[in-house]
Amino acid sequence: MATIPTLHDIYLARPHVYRHLRPTPLYHYAGLSNLIQASVYLKHENHQPVGAFKVRGGLNLVANLSDNQKRAGLYTASTGNHGQSIAFAARAHNLKATIAVPEGANPGKVSAMQGLGAEVVFHGSDFDSARLWLNKVAEENGGTFVGPTDDLLIHGVGTYGLEILEDLPDVDTIIVPVGAGSGVCGTAVVAKAINPRIQVIGVQSAQAPVMQMSWQQGRPVEGKMKTVAEGLATRIPFANTQAIMAKYLDDFILVEDHALEEAVRLLLTHTHNLVEEAGAAPLAAALKLGDQLIDKKVVLVVSGGNISPERLHHILQT
Amino acid sequence: MATIPTLHDIYLARPHVYRHLRPTPLYHYAGLSNLIQASVYLKHENHQPVGAFKVRGGLNLVANLSDNQKRAGLYTASTGNHGQSIAFAARAHNLKATIAVPEGANPGKVSAMQGLGAEVVFHGSDFDSARLWLNKVAEENGGTFVGPTDDLLIHGVGTYGLEILEDLPDVDTIIVPVGAGSGVCGTAVVAKAINPRIQVIGVQSAQAPVMQMSWQQGRPVEGKMKTVAEGLATRIPFANTQAIMAKYLDDFILVEDHALEEAVRLLLTHTHNLVEEAGAAPLAAALKLGDQLIDKKVVLVVSGGNISPERLHHILQT
C-alpha cells in the first residue's frame, strides 16, 4: 500500500533542501505568453547545480539517513539526472555513492558522476541487470539502494512546487513532465493542499506512454519505450507515484517526440535557455492544449537542461 | 573627472536590486576544473530574467530617479542586453521606457523589448544616429537618457561581485568580460575593497580591442570592432570605466573570436548552460592563461546567455 505524501512532508524536506540549494527562479516570458495566449511562467529547474530538479530529492533522502546508513553509503543505478542527483547529495554530506551503469554507458555522463565524487561501476549489458546486481551488492554491504520514486525523493522535489505557490499564489495551471513521476507527485501534493482548484497536468511522450496509460486505465500497463527524451523514458510504471497521480492529477496528456524537439527550439528562441527534451514537454503540452489555457496563469516546469551538444545540433538542424 | 565607486555604493544598490531579483548561483564544475587545472566556479548571470547581468544596474538606476524623472520616463539606445535591462527595470517600476534602434534592427530583439513593455522607435541607419537623435528627444521631454556605463548602473551590477565574495570568500581570481566595462568595474570595486589580493582580470575579443588597448596605453584609443560577440563590441572606450580599470584591474587579456566559440561549446558540454559569446570569454581567457591559474580558486563570470539559435547552430557545426 503506497503512502500518499502530505504538505507537511514537503515542509519537513524544506530545510534539508535549502541547506544546500537556493530557490530557482520563476520567470514570466512575453514571447511564450503570446504563443499560448496565456500568462506563461517557466519554473527554472534547469538552473539547478546538476541541471535538474532531482537534486532536491537526493538532498532530502540523504539528510534522513541514520548514521549507520550514512556510513554504509548510497547505491543506485542511472546515467541520467537521478544518478547525478544522488552523487551531488552524497558529496554534500560527505558520504560515498556507488552508481551502477551498463557496460558502454555514455562516457560524458559517467565522467559527470565521477566528477561529483561518485564511484561508477560497470555491470551487465543493460540497466535492469546493472540495477539488480547493485541492489544485491547494497544489501550485502548494508547500504541504501535508492530507487527513482522513493518517498523521501518525492518530498524533496515537492519543494519546487512550494516555491511556485510562494512566487505565484494565484497560478491556475501547472504542467509537469512525467518520467517516474516524483516531480508531478510532489507538485500535485503541494498544489492541491494549498488550492484544490489549481489544475495539475502531467505530460509524457507518445513514444513512451506507460505512465499515462496506467493512470488512464487505473492499472499498471507496460508498453513501448522509444522516446528521445531520456527524462521521460519509463518502461515499467511505478506503483507509488501512480497512486498519488490517481488521487491528484487533473489530466495527463501525450505529445509526440517531434513536438518535444520543436519545444526545445522555441525555448531557445524565446528564453535563451538550454532545455532537455523532457523539460520542454510542458511547453509542447501547452501548445497542444490550445484554447483550454486562454488567459490563464500557467506554469511550465522546466525539469532539466541536460541535453548533449549532439542532440542540440540535431534539433537545430531540423 | 570620473567618480570611482566605493563598496558603500554597491551596498546602497543592494536593496534596490533584491527588491526584484534573487542572487544568482555560483556553481563549481568538476569538468571545467580538470580542464583549467584549477577549482573553477561559474557566476551564472545567464540565469537572470532577461538573460544577462545588466538588469541589476537598470533596477538600481530606476530606483534612484526623482518622481519628476520617473514621470518623464527612460530613454536609451540598444538592441542588446542593455536595452532589455532598461525595459525590465522600467516595467518593474511602472514607468515608460523608450528605446531607439536603427531601421532594420533585429526583429527578435525588438520584440523582446516590446514584450517587456518598452516603446521601440526606429531612427537612422546606425546606432550612433539613433542614439544622438533619441538623446535630443529625451532632453526635450525632460526624460533621462541612460548610457551603458552610468555610475548607478556600475553600482547595481557590482552586487554580483558581492555575491561572489559572499559565496566564495577565499576566491583567488575573478575573470570578467569587458564590453563597456560596467561589470568588471563593479566587480573590481567590491573585490579590492574586501581583499586586495584577489586578482581581477578583464577579457575582450582581439577583434574588438579598444577597451584593452586604452587600458594598456593609459589613454583613449579607437580601433577596429569586428567581433561576433555583441556583448564585447565596443568601438569607442568609455572614460569613467577606464578610470576605474586603471586603478583596480590586475590584467586585461585578449582572446580570438574562434576561442570564444570554442568556449561556448565547452560550456555547453561541461555545464549544459547556454552562454553567449561574451559570457564565454572568461573561459577562453582562463584557457589562455594556462599555468598561471593552477590550483587557484577561479570564478568565471558568465555575463549572459542571449545567443541566437542561428549563432548557436553555426557554433555547433564548426
CB contact under 8 A, A312 and B27: no
Per residue in A13-25, pLDDT tens? 999 999 999 999 9
Cβ pair A36, A215 in contact under 8 A: no
Mean pLDDT to the nearest integer, A148-174 = 97
Nearest CB partner across the interface for A316, out of B22, B305, B316: B316
With a threshold of 0.90, tell me whether the complex ipTM lies above it. yes
Count of beta carbons in the 10 Å neighbourhood of residue A18: 13
Q: Tell me which chain B residue has its CA closest to the CA of residue A32.
A: B115
**Cβ-proximal residues to B71 (8 Å cutoff; 6+ apart), any chain:** B95
User: In sequence order, what DSSP letters do the residues of B70-103 get, joined into one string?
Assistant: HHH-EEEE-SSHHHHHHHHHHHHTT--EEEEE-T
Nearest CB partner across the interface for B265, out of A108, A307, A309: A309
What integer pLDDT is reported at residue B1 of this predicted model? Answer: 54
Smallest CA–CA distance, residue A91 to chain B, in Å, is 12
Nearest CB partner across the interface for B307, out of A47, A49, A272: A272
Question: Which residues of A touch chain B, with CB atoms under 8 Å apart?
Answer: 22-23, 25, 27, 29-31, 34, 44, 46-47, 49, 51, 108, 111-112, 114-116, 265, 268-269, 271-274, 276, 305-309, 312-313, 316-317
Q: In what order do the strands lie in the sheet with B97-101?
A: B119-122, B97-101, B74-77, B144-145
Helical segments of chain A, H only: 7-18, 30-36, 55-63, 67-72, 81-92, 107-115, 127-141, 151-167, 182-194, 210-217, 239-248, 257-271, 277-289, 309-317
| Amino acid (one-letter) located at A108 | G
Q: What is the pLDDT along chain B (318 residues), one digit of tens a residue?
A: 568 999 999 999 999 999 999 999 999 999 999 999 999 999 999 999 999 999 999 999 999 999 999 999 999 998 788 999 999 999 999 999 999 998 888 887 888 899 999 999 999 888 778 889 999 999 999 999 999 999 999 999 999 999 999 999 999 999 999 999 999 999 999 999 999 999 999 999 999 999 999 999 999 999 888 999 988 988 889 999 999 999 999 999 999 999 999 999 999 999 999 999 999 999 999 999 999 999 999 999 999 999 999 999 999 997
What integer pLDDT is reported at residue B218 of this predicted model? Answer: 96
Nearest CB partner across the interface for B23, out of A22, A115, A265: A22
Q: Tell me which chain A residue has its CA closest to the CA of residue B21.
A: A25
Q: Tell me which chain A residue has its CA closest to the CA of residue B266.
A: A309
- Alpha carbons A215 and B302: distance in angstroms, whole number: 42
Question: Which residues of B touch chain A, with CB atoms under 8 Å apart?
Answer: 22-23, 25, 27, 29-31, 34, 44, 46-47, 49, 51, 108, 111-112, 114-116, 265, 268-269, 271-274, 276, 305-309, 312-313, 316-317
Task: Work out the pLDDT band at A225, boundaries 50, 70, 90.
Answer: confident
What integer pLDDT is reported at residue B233 of this predicted model? Answer: 85
Q: Tell me which chain A residue has its CA closest to the CA of residue B311.
A: A316
Task: Work out the pLDDT band at A108, boundaries 50, 70, 90.
Answer: confident
Per residue in A268-281, pLDDT tens? 999 999 999 999 99
B23 chain-A contacts, CB cut-off 8 A: 22
CB contact under 8 A, B309 and A269: yes
CB contact under 8 A, A23 and B25: no
What integer pLDDT is reported at residue B8 of this predicted model? Answer: 97
Smallest CA–CA distance, residue A262 to chain B, in Å, is 12
What integer pLDDT is reported at residue B170 of this predicted model? Answer: 98
CB contact under 8 A, A47 and B51: no
What integer pLDDT is reported at residue A48 of this predicted model? Answer: 97
CB contact under 8 A, A31 and B116: no
Task: Work out the pLDDT band at A109, boundaries 50, 70, 90.
Answer: confident
What integer pLDDT is reported at residue B277 of this predicted model? Answer: 97
**Cβ-proximal residues to B158 (8 Å cutoff; 6+ apart), any chain:** B5, B9, B10, B13, B185, B186, B187, B189, B190
A307 chain-B contacts, CB cut-off 8 A: 272
CB contact under 8 A, B27 and A49: yes
CB contact under 8 A, A312 and B317: no
Domains of chain A: 7-52+151-317 (3.40.50.1100), 55-145 (3.40.50.1100)
Cβ pair B232, B277 in contact under 8 A: yes
Question: To the nearest whole percent, how much of chain A has pLDDT over 70?
Answer: 99
B308 chain-A contacts, CB cut-off 8 A: 269
Smallest CA–CA distance, residue A25 to chain B, in Å, is 8
What integer pLDDT is reported at residue A1 of this predicted model? Answer: 54
What integer pLDDT is reported at residue A35 of this predicted model? Answer: 96
Task: Work out the pLDDT band at A105, boundaries 50, 70, 90.
Answer: confident
Q: Which of A9, A39, A122, A23 is nearest to A296 (CA)?
A: A39
Q: Which of B127, B136, B160, B131 is nearest to B147 (CA)?
A: B131
CB contact under 8 A, A108 and B269: yes
Chain-centroid distance of CA A109 in Å reads 17
Mean pLDDT across chain A: 95
What integer pLDDT is reported at residue A129 of this predicted model? Answer: 85
Q: In what order do the strands lie in the sheet with A74-77?
A: A119-122, A97-101, A74-77, A144-145
Nearest CB partner across the interface for B116, out of A23, A30, A309: A30
Is it the case that residue A154 has pLDDT exceeding 90?
A: yes
- Alpha carbons B269 and A279: distance in angstroms, whole number: 18
Is it the case that residue A8 has pLDDT exceeding 60?
A: yes
What integer pLDDT is reported at residue B240 of this predicted model? Answer: 96
Q: Which of B132, B104, B127, B121 is nearest to B235 (CA)?
A: B127
Per residue in B26-52, pLDDT tens? 999 999 999 999 999 999 999 999 999
| Cβ-based contacts under 8 A for chains A and B | 78
A179 vs A42, A184, A188, A239, CA distance in Å?
19, 9, 15, 13
CB contact under 8 A, A112 and B307: no
CB contact under 8 A, B31 and A265: no
